A and B are shown apart, each in its own frame.
Chain A
Amino acid sequence: MDNFEPKIVAFCCNWCSYAGADLAGTSRMQYSPNIRVIRVMCSGRVNPLFVLKALSIGADGVLVLGCHPGDCHYIEGNYKTMRRIPLLKKMLKQLGVEEERVRLGWVSASEGAKFAEVTDSFTQSIKNLGPSSLGHLKQSSKEVKHG
């Protein structure tokens, strides 16, 4: 397991965390290359369904990053995320999925260094957990229909 490189999906909100990731990049900060960033308009747009979908098609971990509480561009989108992720984790645990595979974090547009740090520490924790056992699910005809 020494050379296990996890696949990590990071949902970043357009207004804070994606800009934070951008800042980390333009400042040439080093961070682990395991993450695949998906930009969403708000962390509140991240339906738990997206997280499950990512896990079911091969992600070893999912990071949801949004504006700090109080800073949401849409005023309270990130509060919705703050309420969803704990319930999602509780449900994942019941389904035999380690709750550590999903992490919620707050990264502002000026926090390039924090973005790099969160990415590194999450990657490390997923490396410690090992590969996810969910990534081999086949699609049924109905799921194909719905795309």
Chain B
Amino acid sequence: MTEMSKEKLLWFYERMRLIRTFEDRVADLFGQAKLPGFVHLYAGEEAIAVGVMAHLTDRDRITSTHRGHGHCIAKGVDIKRMMAELYGKTTGLCKGKGSSMHIADIDKGMLGANGIVGAGGPLACGSGLTTKVLGSDEVTVCFFGDGAAEQGTIHESMNLAAIWKLPVVFICENNMFAVSTPSSYHCAAGEICARAAAYDIPGLAIDGTDVFAVYEAAGEAIARARRGEGPSLIEARAFRYYGHFVGDPQTYKTKEEMDGYKAKDPITLFKKRVLENDLVSEPELTKIDDQVKKAIEEAVRFAEESPLPAPEDCLADVYVNYPREEVEP
């Protein structure tokens, strides 16, 4: 931590704060019935996306989950166009065809949030295979949750990535609940990272609320993948502040448990550590808070002022080449 540049530390803070503020604002907008559909929020898990993405460039790629806003923001996806997508506007990243669950930005190496739990594993293998066949050096990071860890796709993918030595890093974001089902119930072996042994790849569990711990572990795994030495599995444990989706009453969690999250808040922990060590100053952080608030309000304004799609836009973008009359109802 102490050997990190101030620039990097401020980037950590700015990205984590941007994710948190974005998610809080989305919860608020959803509560006001301004956003259609459903949204799954990343608040509480910011340190994972930010600690991992600090090692990636736009050429590196990620596969994401249904809880993908944090991954997008950490990867550098434009928050105005993200917000517009949540509103279902034409200026959205997917022109209003995607929603929160399918935000993608291929130019930024963001291969898509995904509504199917565990689907990113095979896709990440394919992305890694492209790198290997073309002989380049990008790394693909596959984010998945503790719930997805129980899908066959994740097992198939870790095995395939291991036998083909693909440049893929598997990051399990264990937020302790698969919807309402605790990992203590759904995971037979208790630790997801222990499965790495079955694929003969490195596996470790880390505190996913500590951005420095994530940064260090992800750095090693990504460097290993970039050297062509194959995949790794990191289980990063953190807490999901909002419910599975916005509106989830979270009756499966106790009040004590939820209060306990505050003691492990990734942003509070980060602030405390950098300020105690005199690495950055309070005004520097406050200035970021203000900039982030402004950026989020600009994103909301941009989204609200953008046009909705025309109904018949429904018919476009199914294929590259296809007779229009064969798509019409």
Q: Do A and B bind each other?
A: no
Query: Which residues of chain B have a CB within 8 Å of any CB of chain A?
Result: none
Query: Which residues of chain A have a CB within 8 Å of any CB of chain B?
Result: none
